[in-house]
Amino acid sequence: MNEVRDLRFSVIDKEDVSALLLLPPSATCLLVLAHGAGAGMSHTFMTATADQLAEDHVATFRYQFPYMEHRRGVPDKQPLLTATVAAAVRTAAQLAPDLPLFAGGKSMGGRMTSLAASEKKLEAVRGLIYFGFPLHPPKRPSIKRAEHLNLVNLPMLFLQGTRDDLADLSLLRPVCESLGPQTVLHIIEGADHSFHVLKRSGKTDSGVLSELSTTVKAWTAAHSAA
């Protein structure tokens, strides 16, 4: 049976946030998983992803950013967001010191994790995983949000749908290629930014979720050696 622990940790003074550790039996690694800009750690996608990863023996540590914890509506400034990522990683490392540690998140959560890594704030992390990296705002193609990725000295896994309005693949592919062989771009055919697929695609959302989890399981296994 999976171990589930509701937790709290401190980011800075007067900024405590909630977290949820989901630890399956025979866990192979622990993924620190940040939520996107518009929904918290208990959003349907976050919960379903954590549950599916648990089936594949990948433990997760989900957490709230302060603005979401305190229902402020607008995301915090970047320094507080990256400080939260760093605090979450430290907390997760203390909770499961024997498990290889990875970090990432959905959309904004993944980007903030990459920014924290580029600022050398993430210790002991073996690699970063992005569930829909938000390369640019909708209908405003750009690679400006990727400039800091050259400063990330960790393996990276991009999980991206072909219908993602926040990541033009004609821009993201060369970005990933420029980052070298430690960076992998896994494309989910027919998926949008939320990893939904159209019925006519012949795929299902649950099938996409399984593909995401299987990909994460294999990639983390390949990068878990000390």
3-222 classified as CATH 3.40.50.1820: yes
Residue 54's identity, in one-letter code, is: A
User: How many residues in total does the chain contain?
Assistant: 226
pLDDT tens by residue, 65-121: 999 999 988 999 999 999 999 999 999 999 999 999 999 999 999 999 999 999 999
Does the pLDDT at position 226 exceed 90? no
* CA–CA gap between residue 133 and residue 147 (Å, rounded): 13
Task: Dihedral sign for Cα 86, 69, 76, 112, please.
Answer: positive
Banded model confidence at residue 12, pLDDT cuts 50, 70, 90: confident
Q: Does an H or E element contain 79, and which?
A: helix 78-95
Task: Dihedral sign for Cα 119, 124, 127, 131, please.
Answer: negative
pLDDT tens by residue, 180-225: 999 999 999 999 999 999 988 888 999 999 999 999 999 999 999 8
Q: What pLDDT does 157 receive?
A: 98
Instruction: At 188, give phi and psi (nearest 5°).
Output: -100, 110
